[in-house]
Amino acid sequence: MRTFLRRLVATAAVPMGRSSTTVAAAPPVVLKVGDALRDRRLFTDGEVEAYAGLSGDRNPVHLDDVFARQVGGFEHGRVVHGMLVASLFPALVAAHFPGAVYARQSLKFAAPVYVGKEVLVQVQVLHIRASATKYIVKFGTKCFTNGSENSPAVDGEALTVLPSLRLRDNN
């Protein structure tokens, strides 16, 4: 499967060392149906505690390791708030498309995300519709635990409004 990041790497200009040769800028990478943006992330104790304070969600399964294990039944301890995990989707889109507007998100929480454990977050283009000045893009949104696409934690779809289909180079 061709991913967005593979295309980015394939089209990126590579410096030619210390020679005086200049490398022409690569053509802009344009988002297409099937493209995927991915990132890896882990949530720290401090981030989960800060989110609990900001959101008011002080459920002890997020803040108390013993409670999470014994009462919540979470074998690896405290879990990250589901909505905090879901915040990775609009963050990933906006990082590559400044000015993006997140219009809608559906979510299914399939498995816990544990504090301090890495997740793989992915948004994949399902549909693109052009309007007069913007693009309406439907993304499949997924978050995986254990760094593997075999361990889904969050699944859903998002509808976004993008000002452009050109990927912002974050390097």
CB atoms within 10 A of CB 106: 10
Domain assignment of residue 60, yes or no: no
Whether residue 101 has pLDDT greater than 90? yes
Phi, psi of 61 (to 5 degrees): -65, -20
pLDDT digits (tens, 9 = 90+) for 143-171: 999 867 788 999 999 999 999 999 886 65
pLDDT at 26: 56
Least confident of 5-19, 71-85, 117-131: 5-19
Domain assignment of residue 152, yes or no: yes
pTM value is 0.81
Residue 111 identity (one-letter amino acid): A
Q: Say if CB 105 and CB 92 are below 8 A apart.
A: no
Whether residue 3 has pLDDT greater than 70? no
**CATH number of the CATH domain containing 118:** 3.10.129.10
pLDDT digits (tens, 9 = 90+) for 25-64: 555 689 999 999 999 999 999 999 999 999 999 999 999 9
Domain assignment of residue 110, yes or no: yes
| Residue in the block written with tokens 């104790």 | 45
pLDDT at 9: 32
Q: Which residues contact 90 (CB under 8 A, 6 or more apart)?
A: 100, 102, 105, 158, 160
Q: Which residues contact 132 (CB under 8 A, 6 or more apart)?
A: none
Which residues form the domain of 150? 4-43+82-162
Task: DSSP letter for 89, please.
Answer: H
Q: Which residues contact 5 (CB under 8 A, 6 or more apart)?
A: 36, 37, 38
Domain assignment of residue 61, yes or no: no
